[in-house]
Homo-oligomer: A and B are copies of this chain.
């Protein structure tokens, strides 16, 4: 029967776009090599109509589908299970930018467009598509939307959700919903767009999206500031928001240990402020001029010094220096890998609760696992911490992970929920946190989610056992 399906798929898409033999590990395994599955086959449709045809054929055979974009996800949401019974549907050939409407500040792109290509299409018209994250050279816009990606510009521009005005979706029945269009206001019924965004392929397949663009800022400036405490960093955020308004496009925080790992493993990177309890990276984007941006920045940092919120600061003097400051921040995950296996938590909290959360959770972890090392960093402006745990020095990191990861997660997630937070800020649920979600999400929310899943995908064929 599965051979019959593969034959029908080959007849529909052409021989070359249905892969079922040879090494398919690029599709079957996630890039971090955490999840290795086995697909019945890999299909590479070249149009929305072909995606719909694949879905209809698979549904007729009762075969489930795992949609995949750039395969850069962090939660195992885009790779097949080990059964060999799932169809892997790659969106990579749907990679056209269909339209750019400069006067409407919108761009319509197919799901398989690489994020960087979308950014470049906007930049070619002196416009900005602000979604920006580490994987931008290989992740796809469809995957970004399916996972509601975050990144470094959320403080000003929002998550992927807030950057999308319309979607085209293939439903689990293989019908095409054309919900594209560049409208800022549209109150004609339930918000299907936002239901699909963040649904991780479990309700249908996003095939194209209309995205918001912005005028490119004329100047961007970056600074580092040294804070004695996380409370001071939160107060600095408030001051920066009041003084710079929406010109404040980045506000990242890094604890001393995170930057010490960067210093240890990447000694060639200059750290202008030296070791500090907490270092903040601020970015301003200005629509007037570099001189204006600099004046705002200097005024802000002087006020922060006067108010005792910071005790040192360094403003980048050039684009190269700006990039170097961001590079420090972006080197933290790599430095962690160099240091050894670690336990990552992508969590969100109300900004106001972060200092208390970190103080009490750091202390609880240290009390239970003496010598445990905490890499606390992230998008403080969005209340999003990458709250990572490194095994005590000298201990076998792999053994520590094997034996303690579950207990560490339990402690951290309990603390997150006690502080009104979320156990997944920007990476999603996928396979990794599905059980955690079922255990920890509000029971009425779970009921509503299950009712929606059952209503839209009664056969349960869309990315089953992911998210829900």
Q: Interface of A with B (CB < 8 Å)?
A: 101-106, 147-148, 150, 154-156, 158-159, 161-162, 171, 175-179, 181-192, 194-195, 197-199, 203, 214-215, 217, 234-235, 238, 241-247, 285-288, 296, 348-353, 379, 382-384, 420-429, 433, 437, 441-442, 444-449, 451-456, 467-468
* 14 A–B contacts, CB within 8 A, in A order: A106-B350, A150-B185, A150-B187, A179-B442, A181-B420, A182-B383, A183-B349, A184-B348, A184-B382, A186-B424, A189-B449, A190-B448, A214-B241, A215-B241
Interface centre among A428, A437, A448 (most CB of B within 10 A): A448
- B350/A188 in contact, CB under 8 A: no
List, in ascending order, chain B residues with CB within 8 A of A447's CB: 171, 175
Of B184, B203, B425, the residue contacting A185 (CB under 8 A) is B425
If the complex has contacts A177-B442, A350-B106, are A215 and B245 also in contact, measured as CB distance less than 8 A? yes
**Assembly CA distance A230 to B453 (angstroms):** 45
List, in ascending order, chain B residues with CB within 8 A of A427's CB: 187
- A429/B188 in contact, CB under 8 A: yes
If the complex has contacts A171-B444, A352-B101, A456-B451, are A148 and B190 also in contact, measured as CB distance less than 8 A? no
List, in ascending order, chain B residues with CB within 8 A of A383's CB: 104, 182-185
If the complex has contacts A181-B350, A442-B179, are A171 and B422 also in contact, measured as CB distance less than 8 A? no
List, in ascending order, chain B residues with CB within 8 A of A452's CB: 190, 195, 452, 455-456
List, in ascending order, chain B residues with CB within 8 A of A148's CB: 187, 191
**Assembly CA distance A407 to B177 (angstroms):** 29
- B425/A192 in contact, CB under 8 A: no
Of B178, B245, B449, the residue contacting A190 (CB under 8 A) is B449
List, in ascending order, chain B residues with CB within 8 A of A288's CB: 243, 296
- B351/A104 in contact, CB under 8 A: yes
- A154/B185 in contact, CB under 8 A: yes
